[in-house]
């Protein structure tokens, strides 16, 4: 009889995840993670504030990040990921970089954020024009647009839901409808924002329908964190993760297209 399993469980490598107090999609994060990787989640302290720019600032304060990362210290993860889009774009590119530095100082390991991972993914795919879907209010959505524009990427279209709570309850059909609403004219990719918005199962469908890569907040977060470990995320038929799902190289943007401005939803 083979009793080799009695030697113990398979060795695991760890990713520490700092999420906002209202994060409800732990199971979705795990779907991008290969079997030899473990996720160790911790949450920021509760504050009685709905989803807004104020909340984004509160859950991304450096002291809050330091304390959250320190709670993971005993588990010794090899990388720490901050899983919140608005919390990591609210301070712009400089603010996002400062967050990573603060987390790295607290945990002495590499750190990534959702919004930093987004820019990394857009660069990896050669995206110059991106459409956006968000569950946010107009003010939070505009902040995301400004962050993407600061990175030199044109926002070609945008659709938002205006929600301030219970974002994890949004059904897939609404996400799909908003995606089609956002992709008007030419876009090299679509980004669906917010780590509390379910997206895993709609990505392949939308890529087939829209014929462009579809990125989501949780997807890029796990992709970037796993990259730091030298391994790949699990995501069949998702262009960012599965090269076989890529339709082809992103078409270069023509000069006259650069000057076109799309209306907002």
- Written as one string, the DSSP assignment of 193-243 is --TTS--TTHHHHHHHHHSS-EEEHHHHHHHHHHHHTT-----TT-TTT-G
User: In sequence order, which residues have a C-beta less than 8 Å from that of residue 164 and are 6 or more positions away?
Assistant: 50, 51, 52, 137
Q: What 8-state DSSP symbol labels residue 48?
A: S
For residues 202 and 172, give the distance between their C-alpha atoms in angstroms, rounded to a whole number: 7
Q: Which of 6-10, 40-44, 51-55 has the lowest mean pLDDT?
A: 6-10
pLDDT at 263 over 60: no
Question: Do 72 and 15 form a contact (C-beta atoms < 8 A)?
Answer: no
pLDDT at 166 over 70: yes
- Of 207, 200, 206, 208, which Cα lies nearest the Cα of 233? 200
List pLDDT tens digits, range 110-150. 999 999 999 999 999 999 999 999 999 999 999 999 999 99
Report the chain's mean pLDDT, rounded to a whole number.
91
- Of 187, 206, 180, which Cα lies nearest the Cα of 262? 187
Residue recorded with tokens 């401005």: 261
Alpha helices in the chain (DSSP H): 26-31, 53-58, 62-71, 85-89, 92-107, 114-125, 138-150, 172-182, 202-210, 217-228, 255-258
Q: What pTM was computed for the model?
A: 0.90
Residue 236: other Cβ atoms inside 10 A = 10
Question: Do 82 and 113 form a contact (C-beta atoms < 8 A)?
Answer: yes
Q: How confident is the model at residue 5 (pLDDT cuts 50, 70, 90)?
A: low
User: In sequence order, which residues have a C-beta less than 8 Å from that of residue 96 and are 6 or more positions away?
Assistant: 88, 89, 113, 115, 116, 147
């Amino acid at each position: 009889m083979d009793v080799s399993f009695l030697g113990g469980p398979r060795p695991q490598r760890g990713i520490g995840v700092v999420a906002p107090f209202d994060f409800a999609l732990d199971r979705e994060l795990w779907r991008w993670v290969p079997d030899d990787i473990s996720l160790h989640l911790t949450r920021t302290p509760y504050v009685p504030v709905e989803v807004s720019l104020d909340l984004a600032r509160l859950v991304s304060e450096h002291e809050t990040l330091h304390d959250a990362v320190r709670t993971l210290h005993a588990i010794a993860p090899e990388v720490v990921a901050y899983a919140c889009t608005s919390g990591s774009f609210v301070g712009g590119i400089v603010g996002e970089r400062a967050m990573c530095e603060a987390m790295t100082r607290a945990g002495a390991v590499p750190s990534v954020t959702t919004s930093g991972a987004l820019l990394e993914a857009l660069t990896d795919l050669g995206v110059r024009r991106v459409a956006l879907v968000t569950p946010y209010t107009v003010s939070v959505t505009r902040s995301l647009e400004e962050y993407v524009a600061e990175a030199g990427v044109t926002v070609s279209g945008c659709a938002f839901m205006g929600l301030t709570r219970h974002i994890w309850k949004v059904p897939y059909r609404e996400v799909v409808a908003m995606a089609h609403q956002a992709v008007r004219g030419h876009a090299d990719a679509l980004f669906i924002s917010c780590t509390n918005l379910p997206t895993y199962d709609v990505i392949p469908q939308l890529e087939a329908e829209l014929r462009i890569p579809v990125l989501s907040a949780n997807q890029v977060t796990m992709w970037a964190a796993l990259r730091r470990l030298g391994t790949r995320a699990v995501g069949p038929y998702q262009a960012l993760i599965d090269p076989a799902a890529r339709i082809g190289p992103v078409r270069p943007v023509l000069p006259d297209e650069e000057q076109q401005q799309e209306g907002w939803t």
